[in-house]
Structure 1
Amino acid sequence: MDDLELLINGMKYSGWTSLGVTRAVDAATTAFTATLTERWEGGENQSSQIEPWPILPGDTCEVRLAGFRMVVGYVDIFKPSFSANDHSINIQGRDKVADLVDCSAVHSPDEWKNIDLLRFAKALAAPFGVTVSADVDVGAPFPVCKLQQGETAFKAIERYARQRKVLLMPDGAGGLLITRAGVRRAVTSLIQGENILDASGTIDHSQRFSSYLVKGQAAYSPDSTGETEAHIEGGVSDSGIKRYRPMLLVAETGGTASSLKDRATWEANSRIGKSAAASITVQGWRQSPGGDLWEPGMLVYVRSSWLRMDGMMLIRQVTYERGEDGTTSKLEIVSPQAFDPEPPDGKDAKKGKKGSRNIWAEAIPEEDRIK
């Protein structure tokens, strides 16, 4: 059976009674929680645990799930508890990228010129001992990258990542990965009546808007007028929202009309895609016995009449769990539109049977719908 391996300060601990590891394509860190009875009986060739384990917040840790490395980071929380009949501990932690999320970006100088996203991210991550890599093209260099007072290192990197329409997620080895969703496809489909244990869905248009306009200022150029530099904008619309619901955003960074339209596209697609979400639980951590793990960022075909879903969806988050209900994976599913770098297709809402609106298809790009 696949198991959790937890190493604290290089020492392996086992005997866990319940555990959970959560990874998401749009979350900077991978988090874990594990609980066990501290005085547990040893198995074959193992002695019983007698002395309290020397684990404290700040200790280095590594978490492996089914042999795959998931977390290289630190213990955040250590919670011992006991009663007359029970003595247990709970450990919670995150990977190294958590320091980028928690800590302010303190750097001198606080401004870089003609630097691309990867080099900028490496400069901010280096003091924390966090490596940065990319498996996609990070785009052209920015004319200027400047820190905002008080922002975290991750927020600074994320501001510029949005301009290049890329995602930031842990690489499993304690580093930060610049990537895009939907590069890989799951080999196993999610089918109601076959491998879906339980599921629920949500359609929520409260955070969608009819138009998205991003305004900003461009960096100085001797070839343009001050008026032009001070007033640039870019926008897109969402035809799925019929009534007047505008959203105006101020660009986090300077740029061009084209880059501001890209920023508006990212905002629109994110909200369209996440308006159609589902939570699906399957047995085990792997797609098939001995196969690959379910992983965030994968495209997966989902067919469920009860969810009214039939098409390619995107795994946004995976929570690997083991407890009283056995070994399961909870998959948080959204439309691929949530992380699509292209503008919304602007087509009218699709019609379902008997003229009803197909609320899932509205959030699924045309090329990912099942014909």
Structure 2
Amino acid sequence: MDDLELLVNGMNYSGWTSVGVTRAVDAASSAFTVDLTERWEGQAGRAAQLEPWPILPGDRCEVRLGGIPMVIGYVDIFKPSFSATEHSINIQGRDRTSDLIDCSAVHQPDEWKNITLLRFAQILAQPFGVRVSADVAVGEPFSVCKLQQGETAFEAIERYARQRRVLLMPDGAGGLLITRAGNKRASVGLVQGENILSASGSIDHSQRYHSYLLKGQAAYNPESEGQTEAHVSGTAGDSGIGRYRPLLIVAESGSTGASAQARAVWEANSRIGKSATATITVQGWRQRPGGPLWEPGMLVQVKSPWLRMDGQMIIRQATYERGEGGTTTRLDIVSPQAYSPEPPDSKKSVKAKKGGRNIWAEAIGEEDKTNG
């Protein structure tokens, strides 16, 4: 059976009573939490442990699931507790990339010209000892990348990542990966009555708008009269929202007309796609015995009559757990549209499939709402 290994300062610790590891396609750091009971002299049938385990916040650590590295970073939190009958500890930690999230971007110079997103991210991550790589094209160089006072290193990188419609996630080896969702496909589907243990869903339109307007300014160009740079904008719409609900977005940094339009589309798609979500729990950490782990960013076919879902979804987050409820993986899934670079097109209706309505597709404007 797959097990979790926690290596702290090179020493492998086991005997966990409960474990949890969380990875997400849109979160730059993975996290883990583990509980165990230390053995103390006088407990029947157990060998004496005379000294507490030397684990403290700040210690270097590595978490492996079934021998596969998932987190390489640091211990954040150490919580000891005891009673008359037991002594237990809880340990929590995150990837090395957590320093990018927590710490300010302090760098001289604080402005770079004609630089790609990958190179910009590598420069900001280098002082933290974090490697940055990309498994997708990162687009053309930016004419200017400039830090904003007080922002973290991750916030600075993410500002420009949004303009290139890419995601930032941990690579499992302590580094940061620039990627897109849907690059991988699960080898098995999630099917009610077969491998789904439990599921719940939510359709929430509170963060959707009928129109999106992005405004910004382009970088200075000495060959221009200034009008083009001063008035850069992009628009996108969501015909699934019938009433007047506009959202004005101020561009995070210098833009062009094309990048402003792409940024508006990304905002619309993200909100549309994430308005229909579900959480599905499956047995074990692997897609099938001896097969690959469930991973965030994967496309997966989901079929659940009770959720009224039948179609492809994206695994946004995977949480691997072991405790009193056994060994399970909790998968948070969203529509692929949440990470699509293409404009939303709710007017292209898709007839309801045989077997009834797909309310999840309807929720993001992919089906003719008059069907069913």
Name the TM tier (shorter chain): over 0.9
Return the alpha-carbon distance in structure 1 between the equivalents of residues 365 and 64 of structure 2: 35
Q: Which residue of 2 aligns with 1:100?
A: 100
| Cα drift, residue 359 of structure 1 | 3.0
Q: Which residue of 2 aligns with 1:80?
A: 80
| Cα drift, residue 67 of structure 1 | 0.8
- Do 2:35 and 2:91's aligned partners in 1 also have CA atoms closer than 8 Å? yes
Return the alpha-carbon distance in structure 2 between the equivalents of residues 55 and 165 of structure 1: 40
- Do 2:210 and 2:244's aligned partners in 1 also have CA atoms closer than 8 Å? yes
Q: Which residue of 2 aligns with 1:214?
A: 214
| Cα drift, residue 178 of structure 1 | 0.3
Deviations 1:237-296 (A, max 9, x none): 011111111100000011111100111111111100100000000000000000000000
Aligned CA distance change for structure 1 residues 26 and 163 (closer, same or farther; 3 Å): same
| Cα drift, residue 345 of structure 1 | 1.8
Deviations 1:290-336 (A, max 9, x none): 00000000000000011010000000000000000100000001000
- Do 2:270 and 2:337's aligned partners in 1 also have CA atoms closer than 8 Å? yes
Matched, 1:258 2:258: yes
Return the alpha-carbon distance in structure 2 between the equivalents of residues 251 and 357 of structure 1: 38
Return the alpha-carbon distance in structure 2 between the equivalents of residues 48 and 160 of structure 1: 55
- Do 2:316 and 2:333's aligned partners in 1 also have CA atoms closer than 8 Å? yes
2:194 counterpart SS class:
coil
Aligned CA distance change for structure 1 residues 86 and 193 (closer, same or farther; 3 Å): same
- Do 1:240 and 1:348's aligned partners in 2 also have CA atoms closer than 8 Å? no
Return the alpha-carbon distance in structure 2 between the equivalents of residues 323 and 285 of structure 1: 13
| Cα drift, residue 224 of structure 1 | 2.6
- Pairwise CA RMSD: 1.9
| Cα drift, residue 219 of structure 1 | 1.2
Moved more, 277-286 or 358-367: 358-367
Return the alpha-carbon distance in structure 2 between the equivalents of residues 24 and 347 of structure 1: 31
1:360 counterpart SS class:
helix
Return the alpha-carbon distance in structure 1 between the equivalents of residues 270 and 222 of structure 2: 36
Aligned CA distance change for structure 1 residues 209 and 366 (closer, same or farther; 3 Å): closer
Moved more, 224-233 or 300-309: 224-233
Aligned CA distance change for structure 1 residues 364 and 291 (closer, same or farther; 3 Å): farther
Aligned CA distance change for structure 1 residues 312 and 48 (closer, same or farther; 3 Å): farther
Which aligned pairs between 1:125-144 and structure 2 lie closer than 5 A?
125-144=125-144
Moved more, 219-228 or 123-132: 219-228
Q: Which residue of 1 aligns with 2:370?
A: none
Alignment identity in percent?
76
Where does the alignment leave 5 or more consecutive residues of structure 2 unmatched?
368-372
Which aligned pairs between 1:1-371 and structure 2 lie closer than 5 A?
1-39=1-39, 49-347=49-347, 352=352, 358-362=358-362
Return the alpha-carbon distance in structure 1 between the equivalents of residues 138 and 116 of structure 2: 7
Equivalent AA in structure 2 for residue 252 of structure 1:
E
Equivalent AA in structure 2 for residue 201 of structure 1:
G
Equivalent AA in structure 2 for residue 195 of structure 1:
N
Return the alpha-carbon distance in structure 2 between the equivalents of residues 286 and 9 of structure 1: 28
- Do 2:31 and 2:94's aligned partners in 1 also have CA atoms closer than 8 Å? yes
Return the alpha-carbon distance in structure 2 between the equivalents of residues 209 and 259 of structure 1: 20
Where does the alignment leave 5 or more consecutive residues of structure 1 unmatched?
none
Number of residue pairs matched? 362
- Do 1:350 and 1:357's aligned partners in 2 also have CA atoms closer than 8 Å? no
Return the alpha-carbon distance in structure 1 between the equivalents of residues 241 and 196 of structure 2: 32
Return the alpha-carbon distance in structure 2 between the equivalents of residues 147 and 173 of structure 1: 27
2:184 counterpart SS class:
coil
Return the alpha-carbon distance in structure 2 between the equivalents of residues 174 and 365 of structure 1: 38
Return the alpha-carbon distance in structure 2 between the equivalents of residues 48 and 187 of structure 1: 46
Return the alpha-carbon distance in structure 2 between the equivalents of residues 30 and 127 of structure 1: 20
2:185 counterpart SS class:
coil
Aligned CA distance change for structure 1 residues 192 and 163 (closer, same or farther; 3 Å): same
- Do 2:61 and 2:72's aligned partners in 1 also have CA atoms closer than 8 Å? yes
